[in-house]
């Protein structure tokens, strides 16, 4: 097995896999900041329809050995260019997220770039730090997955 990680544009057939990945309860708990109703297929479809039509949102499918492993995206939020990603649980712990984000950052040249991560999501924080992000602050936000306010780190990637 080659353990290859590639990025490509999101295509319609990826969405059913993204939806299945979004249903993972433990992944939602870990990520904390997730869809309000992960099992609502209509809300998911509406959300992704908007993403696919919006050319200001950069979105890529993560492929691992030819299989859809997740997605990575960059979007404007409150005047800042942010990144986010989601990886199916069966792909965790294989350096796929780090490799995918590093490849994505080669395409997204905008700096500074920002990210947010729940303080207790150590794996995602490590991915971001391996890709050059540094903690620049802290905040709290409401977690739909945990149904409570969650402390988070704010990170930045400078030029």
Q: Verify cis geometry, omega within 30 degrees of 0, for the bond prior to 53.
A: no
Query: What domains can be seen in the chain, in order of their start residue?
Result: 5-157 (3.40.630.30)
Q: What is the pLDDT along the chain (159 residues), one digit of tens a residue?
A: 578 999 999 999 999 999 999 999 999 999 988 888 999 999 999 999 999 999 999 999 999 999 999 999 999 999 999 999 999 999 999 999 999 999 999 999 999 999 999 999 999 999 999 999 999 999 999 999 999 999 999 999 998
Exposure pattern of 24-56 as b/e (b: 16+ CB <10 Å)?
Answer: beebbebbbbbbeebeeeeebeeebeeeeeeee
Tokens 């794996």 — which residue?
Answer: 123
């Amino acid at each position: 097995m080659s353990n290859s990680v590639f990025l490509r544009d999101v295509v319609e057939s990826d969405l059913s896999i993204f939806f299945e990945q979004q249903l993972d309860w433990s992944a939602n708990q870990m990520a904390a900041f997730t869809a309000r109703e992960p099992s609502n297929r209509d809300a998911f479809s509406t959300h992704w329809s908007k993403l696919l039509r919006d050319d200001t949102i950069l979105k890529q499918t993560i492929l691992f050995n030819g299989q859809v492993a997740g997605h990575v995206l960059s979007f404007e939020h409150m005047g800042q260019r942010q990144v986010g990603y989601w990886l199916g649980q069966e792909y965790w712990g294989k350096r796929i997220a780090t490799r995918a984000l590093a490849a994505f950052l080669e395409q997204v040249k905008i700096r500074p770039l920002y990210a947010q991560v729940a303080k207790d999501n150590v794996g995602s924080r490590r991915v971001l730090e391996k890709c050059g992000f540094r903690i620049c602050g802290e905040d709290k936000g409401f977690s739909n997955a945990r149904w409570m306010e969650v402390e988070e780190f704010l990170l930045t990637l400078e030029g």
